[in-house]
Structure formats: C-alpha cells, structure tokens
Amino acid sequence: AQSVTQPDIHITVSEGASLELRCNYSYGATPYLFWYVQSPGQGLQLLLKYFSGDTLVQGIKGFEAEFKRSQSSFNLRKPSVHWSDAAEYFCAVGITGGFKTIFGAGTRLFVKA
Amino acid sequence: DTEVTQTPKHLVMGMTNKKSLKCEQHMGHRAMYWYKQKAKKPPELMFVYSYEKLSINESVPSRFSPECPNSSLLNLHLHALQPEDSALYLCASSQGDGTAYSPLHFGNGTRLTVT
C-alpha cells in the first residue's frame, strides 16, 4: 500500500542548531517526493521536490533533502535553524497518473532560543 | 505572498445557513483542488477539477458542492453543515498533468466554524 511515514510527531531544536526531519515512503513505482511547510494560520508552501537525478535536492529557505532509494527515505535537513522555521512540516508523495498526493502525518518543529 | 487567493479567511455559519468559499489563481494552472484540514492533521482531498471538469470526488457528503466557473476560479458551496465540518478548507492548484509531476500551490485557507 502507498504510504508516507513521518516518525516524529514533534521535534524541538535550539536556534542555530542543525535539523533533520525524517520521512519514509512506501510506493511501488518511481516516487515523486515533496516537502511542504505550514506556518500557523497559513496554507502549505512547497519547500522542495524530487523527481529524478541528483539525490540531494536544494529547496527554499536553506533546506535540502536527500533521497535514498535503498532506505525508502527522503529526509529534510537544514544546517542552522532560525526561530522563523517553527512550523508543521509535511512529507508527501505524488501518485503517478493522477491527482492524488499522499501526505505524511506531519512533524511539528519547535525552535527554542 | 500566496498566488492562490481564498475568501473569506474566516467564516462562522449555522447549520441551516448556505454559504460559499471562493478560490482564485492566475498561474495558468488547469487543475484545482479542495482540501479539508483538521487541527494537527494533514490535508484530506475532497475534490479535484481538471480543465474545469470534476475529476475526483472523494465521497464527500452532498452538503458540500464544488463549482469551477472557469480555469481561474473554484467555489465550494456549503449547505446544512454539521459542527464536525468545522475545519480549515484549503484550495490548491497545479499544472493540469497531475500532482506526480506538479507540486501543489496552496492558498491560506478559510477557517470554517459551524455552530
């Protein structure tokens, strides 16, 4: 079955520290992977996407993600977190040939001073 | 700034009211979506329009009625809602070839409260 798992419901990091948010997917075909961020009271914003090619993709706001096919993972990283990064982060996979996107449950990021 | 505009931002309605949510995009996208999001949950797909035709209805109750007047506009008509329908309603758009290839562009949502 197609699914996206984000093992961490919430994570707290100190401002300036590095960040890694985990994402594992289960999908039979070539995955089209996304990370979205949602700040309180806002819609979701695309951070980055992976379709093919280089397994390390760069996104907006200094985020990057690495696709590892052998581990079925697409983890999101940032070397130095800012207080404004506090938000909900969703990993997602696009379903080939249709309009459906499978979202993970989300990881809430808290940033402490 | 979001390129998908939703109005109103907040809506409070009684269970006997009729109201509409509106969404507009000018990115030339040919697929438009309605999602429902409950607190601390991911968005749940409700409807998809592709090239102004209803492509997906995720078994949504008939008290929700979508409409796509043209390629830039998407409405969601609400009637006889229940308190459990209170949620954030998100509109999104993408290029017409499906989300596997095209990321979703979301509006900021309408926060709906049913009393």
- Summarize pLDDT for A20-59 with one digit per residue, the tens: 999 999 988 778 999 999 999 899 999 999 988 889 999 9
Mean confidence (pLDDT) of chain B: 94
For B57-89, what is the HEC assignment? ECCCCCCEEEEEEECCEEEEEEECCCHHHCEEE
Q: What is the pLDDT of residue B95?
A: 87
B99: nearest CB among A90, A99, A104: A99
Q: What pLDDT, on a 0 to 100 scale, did the predictor assign at position B1?
A: 52
Closest CA to A44 of A99, A10, A92, A95: A92
Whole-number Å distance between alpha carbons of B38 and B85: 9
Phi, psi (rounded to 5 degrees) for A69: -65, -40
CB B102 within 8 A of CB B45: no
Chain A positions in Cβ-Cβ contact with residue B104 (cut-off 8 Å): 34, 36, 44, 46, 101
- In the predicted model, what is the mean pLDDT of residues B82-93? 97
B14 pLDDT more than 60: yes
Q: What is the pLDDT of residues B30-56, one digit of tens each?
A: 999 999 999 999 999 999 999 999 999
Closest-CA distance, B68 to chain A, in angstroms, reads 16
3-state secondary structure (DSSP) of residue B101: coil
> Mean per-residue pLDDT for B62-67?
98
**B82/chain A closest Cα distance in angstroms:** 22
What is the band of B2 on the pLDDT scale with cuts at 50, 70, 90? low
If one compares A110 and A96, the residue with the highest pLDDT of the two is A110
Q: What is the pLDDT confidence band of residue B111, given thresholds at 50, 70 and 90? A: very high
Helix, strand, coil % in chain A, rounded to nearest 5? 10, 50, 40
Is A94's CB within 8 Å of B100's CB? yes
**Which pLDDT score, from 0 to 100, does residue A30 have?**
78
Residue B44: per-residue pLDDT: 98
Cβ contact B108–A42 (<8 Å): yes
Chain B interface, best mutation among A8, A101, A102, by max B CB count within 10 A: A101
Q: With cut-offs at 50, 70 and 90, classify the pLDDT of residue A84.
A: very high
Q: What is the pLDDT of residue A19?
A: 98
